[in-house]
Amino acid sequence: GPGTDTLLQTSGLTKRFGGFTAIDNVDFSVDEGQLRCLIGPNGAGKSTLLKLITGRHDATSGAIYYDGEDIADLRPNDRVDLGIGMKFQVPSVFDELTAYENMRLSVQRTHGDDNLDEAILDGLKRIDLAERATTPAGELSHGQQGRLEIGMAAALEPDLLLLDEPVAGLSLEERREVADLVTELNGDGIAFIVIEHDIDFVAEIADEVTVLHGGQVFREGSIEDIRADDEVRRIYLGG
Ligand code: ADP
Ligand code: MG
C-alpha cells in the first residue's frame, strides 16, 4: 500500500481500448514534492496513463490512490479540486483571449473575486508574461503559450501537476525557460509527472524516471541509471 510520503499510487491499473491493452497492470507512484519523468517510445502508453490519472479516461481495472483515497471513480473536475492539475499535449489556451483573461479563468476558480487583479498579475509575473498581459494568447510565441498553460494549471494550486510533452516543438532557449519554471514550481512543493522525449530536458529536471514500454513499467531509477541502461536503449531502437 501507499507509504506516508506517497502522493499518488496506481495499483494494477489497466486500460483496454477494445481488444488492445494500452496500460497493462501498472503500479506507478509519485511521492509528495517529487518530480518524476515518464519516458518511453511512441505508443508506450504515456499519455493514456496521464489521462487515467486525470479521469479523462476511465480505467478498465485497477485503482488510483491519491492522498490515500481511491479516486478511480471520481469525475475529472473533482480530481482537479483534490489537487491534480494537467497540461495536455494539445494546446488549451484560448487564442482570442488575452494572456490576462486566460490567467483570470484559472485564478478565479481558486481565488474568488477578492484582489483578483493582483492575483492574476502575480500569476503572469511568475511565468514572466506580465509584459504581455494584453496580448491575445494566439499571438504569443509557442514558448510563451506553453508557460501560460503551465502557469494557468499552477494557479489552480495543485499538489500534483501532469505535463504531457511540455517542450515539444520549442527552441533550446524556450526549453530552458520551461525547465526553470518547472523547477521553480517544484521548489514551491508541487509534485510533477512530466512526459518528455528530450533526454537532456529530463536530466535537467527529474528526481526519478519511469520508462514505460508496451503499456508496462519497463524500468525505474535515476536519470544516470536509465541513461546507462542498454535494455532501455534497445527499446528506443525498436529491438
Ligand atoms: P504515448 O503517449 O506513449 O505515445 P499513448 O498513450 O498515446 O502513447 O497510446 C498508447 C497506445 O494506445 C497506442 O497504441 C495508441 O494507438 C493507443 N490508444 C491511445 N488512445 C486510444 C484511443 N482513444 N482508442 C484506441 N487506442 C488508443
Ligand atoms: Mg503521448
Q: Which helix (H) or strand (E) holds 61?
A: strand 61-66
**In this predicted model, what pLDDT tens digit does every residue of 165-190 receive, in sequence order?**
999 999 999 999 999 999 999 999 99
CATH number of residue 53's parent domain: 3.40.50.300
Q: Could you tell me which residues come within 8 angstroms of residue 219 by beta carbon, excluding any fewer than 6 positions away?
A: 209, 210, 211, 225, 226, 229, 231, 232
209-219 average pLDDT score: 97
pLDDT score at 229: 95
Beta carbon of 47 within 6 Å of any ligand 1 atom: yes
Q: Cell match 511540455: residue?
A: 166
Q: What is the pLDDT of residue 110?
A: 83
- 131 part of a folded domain: yes
Q: Look at residue 127 in the predicted model and tell me its pLDDT.
A: 96
Please count the structural domains in the chain.
Answer: 1
Taking a C-beta distance cutoff of 8 angstroms, is the pair 127, 161 a contact? no
Inter-axis angle of helices 142-155 and 172-187, to 10 degrees? 10
CA-closest residue to ligand 1 atom 18: 22
The rounded Å distance from CA 5 to ligand 2 centre is: 28
Q: Is residue 139 part of a domain?
A: yes
User: Which is the closest atom of ligand 1 to the Cα of 212?
Assistant: 3
Amino acid at 149: E
Nearest to 163 by CA among 31, 35, 25: 35
What is the per-residue pLDDT across 103-115, written as a single tens digit (0 to 9) for each?
A: 999 899 888 778 8
Domain assignment of residue 1, yes or no = no
Whole-number Å distance between alpha carbons of 233 and 213:
12
Residue 151 within a domain: yes
Minimal-distance CA residue to ligand 1 atom 14: 43
> Is the per-residue pLDDT at 21 higher than 50?
yes
Task: Give the three cell numbers for residue 200.
Answer: 537532456
Range of the domain at 115: 6-236
Q: Is 185 within the bounds of a domain?
A: yes
Answer yes or no: is the C-beta of 140 below 6 A from any ligand 1 atom.
no
